[in-house]
Amino acid sequence: MSTRTGDERVGVWLFGARGSVATTTIAGAAALRHGGAPVGLVTELPDFAGHGLVPIDRLVFGGHDIIGTPLVKRLERLIAGGVLPHGLDSLVEADLTETEANLVTIEQHDVSQAEQIEAWAADIRAFAQRQQLSKVVAINVASTEAPYPPHPAHADVASLREALAGPDEVLPASSLAALAAFEAGASFIDFTPSTSIRPEAVRQYAVERGLPFGGQDAKTGETLVKSVLAPMFSARALKVHAWSGTNLLGGGDGATLADPRTAESKNTSKERGLTDMLGDVAGEVHIDYVDPMGDWKTAWDHIVFSGFLGVRMTMQFTWQGCDSALAAPLVLDLARLSAAALERGQVGAMPFLGFFFKDPIESTEHSLARQYDELVRWVREW
Ligand SMILES: NC(=O)c1ccc[n+]([C@@H]2O[C@H](COP(=O)([O-])OP(=O)(O)OC[C@H]3O[C@@H](n4cnc5c(N)ncnc54)[C@H](O)[C@@H]3O)[C@@H](O)[C@H]2O)c1
């Protein structure tokens, strides 16, 4: 890996490259290059200026997906759904066509998982070579998977290597993606709650290769608000008795989460923060798929708490967000910060990126304000 120079280009390899979040990210980065305002981009705040983060116009996108729908078609659908502004297609069409050449459609072959990893790693290496990239950061924005059962081979790298070379499936696609990224010398961020970097052996694999990883499950809506409100209740010594949330969501993500097994991954990661911040409180989080809502999400939360001498009170909030518009700038932030981590020789888990996630890796800190301070400290340290 070379160090950063003024004209270096950094590759961003997206697993799930034709999804709503990925398409919004790729089109959004192109729009910024054409003069769009960087609203929603944390790394454009003054705290991050002057620390050598790679400029957005130096990011080059590539990626894997299991579908082959052209990016331009995905963009048209996002514009029709109001996620992206009308007129953007003519502005960024050439950029999307250029990116199209860097996308690889995954095909199922009857090969071992070790061979699968090697094939995906070869795609990433070829991308880096073809585009003359100084480094590649990988980000998983593929559909959320159902929880994957623990396997004895998840315990250490030696057992994992042996098992991967055999005929059995020992890891889900998200973990193969992480290993492929590490094989290709890339960092890996999981934007989803999938299994990916959860197994100990996958983390050790990254450490062996001297690479950083982070995640998981970006907080862009209900959980983001929770991570501001829960510390408020704690700091004012107010007792929270119950916190119930209902989420209505359409789009590809909503359709995926309509499967109760996949929703389990998401709900577990959504609930973790609240328990860490407030201890055990009553109430549940639900996600309901409402197809006509498309990429728009409504979260309604109801909080029962008590104050001085046990007086009962209630707080409610409604969050109506456009999922991909909230997510895409964070993907760009994470790409820039991962590139900085690679350059700085960061190895292993990156808990200082917890600010972006519902289930921050190797961290129990969920307060947005404290997470922000930790992130800025890390950026300034170097
Ligand atoms: N939008 C947000 O605010 C937000 C927040 C947190 C997490 N996420 C997560 O980001 C992910 C993407 O969300 P989205 O709205 O773009 O979903 P989407 O359904 O529009 O896109 C997912 C893409 O992943 C592809 N895919 C599925 N399996 C794959 C595999 N094994 N390898 C490569 N590609 C694969 C699909 O074909 C699809 O193109 C989801 O897991 C979602 O839970 C989104």
pLDDT at 4 over 60: no
Cβ of residue 329 lying under 6 Å from some atom of ligand 1 = no
Ligand 1 centroid to 296 CA: how many Å?
A: 15
Tell which residue, 338, 332, 66, 20, has the closest CA to residue 176: 66
Single-letter residue type at 61: F
Q: What is the pLDDT of residues 20-78, one digit of tens each?
A: 999 999 999 999 999 999 999 999 999 999 999 999 999 999 999 999 999 999 999 99
Q: Ligand 1, atom 32: nearest CA belongs to which residue?
A: 65
d(CA 269, CA 255): 18
Ligand 1 centroid to 256 CA: how many Å?
A: 9
Q: What is the pLDDT of residues 200-225, one digit of tens each?
A: 999 999 999 999 999 999 999 999 99
Q: What is the pLDDT of residues 160-189, one digit of tens each?
A: 999 999 999 999 999 999 999 999 999 999
To which residue do tokens 């990016």 refer?
Answer: 71
Cβ of residue 271 lying under 6 Å from some atom of ligand 1 = no
- Nearest ligand 1 atom to the CA of 220 is 3
- For the chain, report the end-to-end CA distance as a whole number of angstroms: 18
- Nearest ligand 1 atom to the CA of 15 is 33
Q: What is the pLDDT of residues 79-138, one digit of tens each?
A: 998 999 999 999 999 999 999 999 999 988 789 999 999 999 999 999 999 999 999 999
d(CA 137, CA 341): 10
